[in-house]
Structure 1
Amino acid sequence: MAATARPEIRADLANLQLAAIERLEGRREQFSPADRRTYEFARAQALAGAGRVEEAGQALDSLAQAYPRDGEIQEAHAALLLAGTDRASLERSLAKWRQVEEKAAPASERWFRAKYNVASLHYRLGNREQAARIIRLLQIVHPELGGPERKRQFLELLAQATR
């Protein structure tokens, strides 16, 4: 529901999530490790949804370090970094998306998302040739490019990179 809502509704929903999560704060030490991970991840996502990006980044940094093999956390961290606009943030995002790509099962949805974001970040960083090279190689090995919607995104990015 939150993903399809207007931005102001998403922020309101995220703030409601944060209020609910914070009510559980006092019992956090009683959680099992799996429940603690779920709690911390939900909190980080709610912070991001509420526009508290710096706090969300800190929470996801901690989670990414605590759960280096958790693809969901690593991808959420990479996605948050993707919102950066300065070169350092984009380079950090690129490094994180490369990690997501390396750890994802080849040709999985996560792997294609990571490939797309790696190519997109190369483009945003001014390395158009590398972005185009990544997509062209991917077209040879996986001509479907992860499905119709992802293929459309890849081809649009390729067109931009080769202008």
Structure 2
Amino acid sequence: MELVVAKIIISPPSKTSVTLTCDLTDSSEVTDYEWVQLISDLNGSQSVQSVQKGISLSINTESEENQGEWACLFYGKHGILGNVTYHIHTMSGLSGHKSPGFSQSTAAVVGLGFLLLVLLLILAQVYKNHQRRKRIFQFPALETIVHTNSNEREERERNQEKK
């Protein structure tokens, strides 16, 4: 009897795909390799889905259906000799992917931009009012005429309401 150590070698490490290779310390008795995906459901039961035969398997790690547990089964003349498993992380944070949608920093930038726009509009209105008052005060006679006309109009309106 001989102890054989099995492991999965990952190469090349990339963001989108990975190649898994079944490596044994002594593969002289091995006649065939098979890669299967172990699928777990919410009840805790597992099902096995055969993927391909061969010593290596290429997986797209961005695809959610490829995430989970993978096993390399190795066979001899009289049946299965053993297996070795590898787990691909199912959480996007562990594999370095960002979730789609707005992040908090994007929302903060949009909010600050909107606030800045509102402040600029208010400042523009204040400046416009200041310039208008400045023009009127340059001509005191014009100011008197404008106020006199508006005062007379208000007086006439009050008199008409009383009648």
Query: TM-score, normalization: structure 2?
Result: 0.20
Q: Point out the structure with the larger strand share.
A: 2
Query: TM-score, normalization: structure 1?
Result: 0.20
Q: Which of structures 1 and 2 has the larger relative contact order (alpha carbons within 8 angstroms, sep 6+)?
A: 2
Larger Rg: 2
